Structure formats: structure tokens, C-alpha cells
Amino acid sequence: MKGGFVLVRVDRPPRVGTYGNRVGGFHVSCPECGQPVAREWGSAVEALKHAAPWSLSCPGCGVSLGPNQVATQPPAALARFAVELRDVGSPDLLSPGSFVGLLGQDFRVIGVRG
């Protein structure tokens, strides 16, 4: 892979995990109306971690949002596992096309610092 990386690690927490910026957190909003939904999303994530079914409705427009249908800034995602690459040498390596077919399922590439 272009640019390479220093370390690869698979993170597989016992329950679904939140992956994204570890410093400063992130904003969570409805992609339909822009209403902030951080509180509702956090409650839905906690419920999911305790094996409750996912449920999140935007208080602004009422649309139902799936676990990864919210807009986050900077990018973040819920996942059952992550492949972490450290000290990536090229931004091209963060292109999802670099990994097509590698994991055999839908995935997101999230660049973080720190």
C-alpha cells in the first residue's frame, strides 16, 4: 500500500464501540434537518451496549436514524470491530478504495489524530 503504516491492530470490544476523534469529542446532528442529536444518540448507544434494540428519532423532524445515519463532525462511527492503522504515511491510504474486498463487508475509513 502506498505510504505504508507503522502498526496495524484489530480492536474488537465486547460490545459495539464508538470510533472517531479521541480528543475533543465530536458533534452529532440529524442529516435531514441539522438538529443536534448528541443526547439522543448517546442514550441510544448506551441502550445498544446493554443489548436493547436501537431506537433514535430526531427531536427536530421526527425521522428515524440508524446507528450510523447521524452526521458527525469530525467523522465517527459505531462498529463491532475496527482495524487500526498507526502512523499512516499517505492520505491515499485512507481512501476506502484501498480496502475494497479486503474485509468483505461494509466499512468506513475514519482518520483521527492523537
Q: Which residue from 4, 22, 27, 35 is in contact with Zn ion, where contact means CB under 5 A? A: 35
Q: In the set 28, 44, 56, 58, which binds Zn ion (CB under 5 A)?
A: 58
96 Cβ contact list (under 8 Å, min separation 6) = 107, 108, 109
Q: Which grid coordinates belong to 10?
A: 484489530
What minimum distance in Å lies between the beta carbon of 58 and Zn ion?
3
Does 84 bind Zn ion (CB under 5 A)? Our answer is no
Nearer to Zn ion, 1 or 33 (CB): 33
Inter-CA distances, 19 with 2, 9, 44, 77, Å: 24, 14, 16, 5
* Binding span for Zn ion by CB under 5 A among 6-14, 17-25, 59-67, 94-102: 59-67
